[in-house]
A and B are shown apart, each in its own frame.
Chain A
Amino acid sequence: MLTCKEFLNEVGDYLDEGIDAELKVKLEKHITECPNCWVIYDTMKKTIQIYKGMNPCAIPADVEARLMRALERKMADKGKVGAD
């Protein structure tokens, strides 16, 4: 039986599916028997999902305008001609 500490050390790789089958069985056994570790596992999984689900906001128009102006200058300096 894994201790909670051992479980916590492996939970990251478990969530990333980066562990071997034997250890996976032990971790799964642990969370069915330990409600606290199940909650930690479940809320950590949700933490990752919620961040992955965040799309970047559109960048502010003034920031984009300055970026494009800077790039245009750079492109002109490099002397490359647009292909369109």
Chain B
Amino acid sequence: MPAPSQTGIDEATLVAQSREGDTVAFSELVRRYEGKIFRLAQHVTQNREDAEDVLQETFMKAYEHLDQFQGNSKFYTWIVRIAVNQALMKLRRKKTSKTVSLDETIDTGEDTVVREIAAWDENPEQRFSREELGEILDSAIQGLESPYRSVFVLRDIEELSTEETADALGLSIPAVKSRLLRARLQLREKLTRQFKRKGEDAFAYL
């Protein structure tokens, strides 16, 4: 019987086959998630070279420790945890630079700052090409401090749950929520400068 195409096979089957030593199945898992893991690694490390290291280390470790994967979470969530750990280790090694440590205490008090209050166009993204939009969104994320960036990337880009994000970053659920709120407020500010409706500056009432 000819081997069926791997692309239609569900994740659990591919994981089971990989654990049996099926390298083709594992390669298919890699192809499914390499783009997301590379993006995640780039967002967290903010460095392409480091991101490539993280990408390789993540799938190597996943392959090595497949027998430790419990199967009670999704495979993707499991590799995200590995990737986040690898990426954070890279950041910590560079701690002498201006990178803020994830462990640093964050003041969640007064500066949930809102300066820009202006409505956006209905479809602001249509004003820009796909590349331009990608650059705007990436550079806004790069402007966030590391603790906010990691939480935002996991929650709103990789779409992990609050619990999964807390688990992956070793944070409490309230800490995830408050950092996420700060990240979203800051990004909203930055994007408003790009996306606000023309002539909408006078809209600030506060």
Name 17 interchain pairs, CB-CB below 8 A, sorted by A.
A8-B181, A9-B112, A12-B177, A13-B177, A36-B117, A39-B119, A40-B117, A47-B188, A51-B157, A52-B159, A57-B39, A57-B134, A63-B52, A70-B60, A71-B59, A74-B60, A82-B21
B137 within 8 A of partner (CB): yes
Q: With A39-B118, A51-B137, A83-B23 given, can you name 17 additional A-B contacts, CB distance below 8 Å?
A: A8-B181, A42-B119, A43-B191, A46-B195, A50-B133, A52-B156, A52-B159, A54-B133, A58-B35, A59-B34, A67-B56, A71-B63, A75-B26, A83-B20, A83-B24, A83-B25, A84-B3
User: Are A82 and B24 interface neighbours, CB within 8 A?
Assistant: yes
Contact with A along B142-159 (1 / 0, CB 8 A): 000000000010001101
User: Are B112 and A8 interface neighbours, CB within 8 A?
Assistant: yes
Interface size on B, residues (CB 8 A): 53
B76 within 8 A of partner (CB): no
A44 within 8 A of partner (CB): yes
B167 within 8 A of partner (CB): no
Closest to A53 in B: B125
A64–B134 Cα distance when bound, in Å, is 21
| Contacting residues, chain A, for B192 (C-beta < 8 A) | 43
Is the contact region of chain B dominated by helix, strand, or loop, or is it mixed? helix
B32 → chain A, closest Cβ, in Å?
11
User: Are B30 and A59 interface neighbours, CB within 8 A?
Assistant: no
The contact of B27 among A16, A18, A70, A71, by CB within 8 Å, is A71
A83–B117 Cα distance when bound, in Å, is 59
B81 within 8 A of partner (CB): no
Closest to B205 in A: A36
| Contacting residues, chain B, for A11 (C-beta < 8 A) | 181
| Contacting residues, chain B, for A12 (C-beta < 8 A) | 177, 180-181, 184
| Contacting residues, chain A, for B206 (C-beta < 8 A) | 36
A23 within 8 A of partner (CB): no
The contact of A71 among B22, B30, B159, B180, by CB within 8 Å, is B30
User: Are B188 and A44 interface neighbours, CB within 8 A?
Assistant: yes
Known: A39-B203, A67-B34, A71-B27. A48 touches B184 (CB 8 A): yes
Known: A40-B114, A40-B188. A50 touches B25 (CB 8 A): no
User: Are A83 and B184 interface neighbours, CB within 8 A?
Assistant: no
User: Are B184 and A67 interface neighbours, CB within 8 A?
Assistant: no
User: Are B203 and A59 interface neighbours, CB within 8 A?
Assistant: no
B110 → chain A, closest Cβ, in Å?
9
A76–B14 Cα distance when bound, in Å, is 19
B160 → chain A, closest Cβ, in Å?
12
User: Are A57 and B35 interface neighbours, CB within 8 A?
Assistant: yes
